[in-house]
Amino acid sequence: MKSILRAAGVLALVVGLFGNTFAITWFPEEFTCPIDNEKNTFQMWGSYGSYVYAYPSKYQWLFFPWTESEAYYTCKKCHFSAFLGEFDKLPKDKIPELKKLLAAVKVSKPFKEYRELPVSERMDIMEKVYTVWGKDEAWWENFYRLKGYHNGKEGNTAKALEARKKSLELIQKELKNPNSKAPKKLFYYISAAMKHFTGDDKGALEDLQKALETKFQEEGASAEDLKNAENGLNERIRDYIEKIKSDKAKPRLFDKSGSGDES
């Protein structure tokens, strides 16, 4: 899984301003498990529209396909679990250790189709898998933000809070890093989101104000992309401030249902 912060950076801000009518489509594809050679059928996305950037998950800076159950693959035999796009990318030298780890993994019920298991349960296995696999802190920040999102959507309040606190800790660490090349404006937005979803609205509003006062920078982006990203993100920030200050439209109020304003 590419870093969501990088993969959905300028693109999400620019594309999200324009509408199109492409429907979200999925198609089945067969994959061979790298652990036990079991054949599994998983879903691959075929098409989607830029409207996905307006879904309520934007208030956690999370976007399609990572907000969808289809993107979390689990082998029906050994339960090896990985993100869409990475199931068949496991380094061979990790297989022996993962075989031992997965031998002790139990799932809540037998299943033939991977989506029968809750995403939160698949992510619990993935956390073990990727600990062995080895990922950097930016990757783990994305992971914990996603784990918070899916647990929140399923109503697992305590697990969602725990995951979001881990995401926030990593974001704060990056914001304090004087050598960081990360887009601080975007990181302030994400920090605010995690503060809001952990109940700290005062801290969230402070971070959103810092985001408004910080110029958007992303290495390799053109001047036009930077200008559009700046305007697009400022629009999102102002919207978020209004939502947090409201009584009935706070994004976290819609955490369990996953619904809310999609404008």
Number of structural domains, the chain?
Answer: 1
H/E stretch holding 153 reads: helix 137-154
CA dist 144 and 33 (Å) reads 25
What is the chain's pLDDT, residue by residue, as a tens digit (263 residues)? 444 444 445 445 544 545 555 789 999 999 999 999 999 999 999 998 888 888 999 999 999 999 999 999 999 999 999 999 999 999 999 999 999 999 999 999 999 999 999 999 999 999 999 999 999 999 999 999 999 999 999 999 999 999 999 999 999 999 999 988 888 999 999 999 999 999 999 999 999 999 999 999 887 888 888 888 899 999 999 999 999 999 999 999 999 876 544 43
CA dist 256 and 260 (Å) reads 10
Question: Within a domain: residue 52?
Answer: yes
Question: Within a domain: residue 60?
Answer: yes
CA dist 118 and 253 (Å) reads 21
Question: Within a domain: residue 184?
Answer: yes
Note down the domain range covering 35: 4-247
Which 3-state string (H, E, C) describes 195-226? Answer: HHHCCCHHHHHHHHHHHHHCCCCCCCCCHHHH
Question: Within a domain: residue 255?
Answer: no
Question: Within a domain: residue 97?
Answer: yes
Question: Within a domain: residue 263?
Answer: no
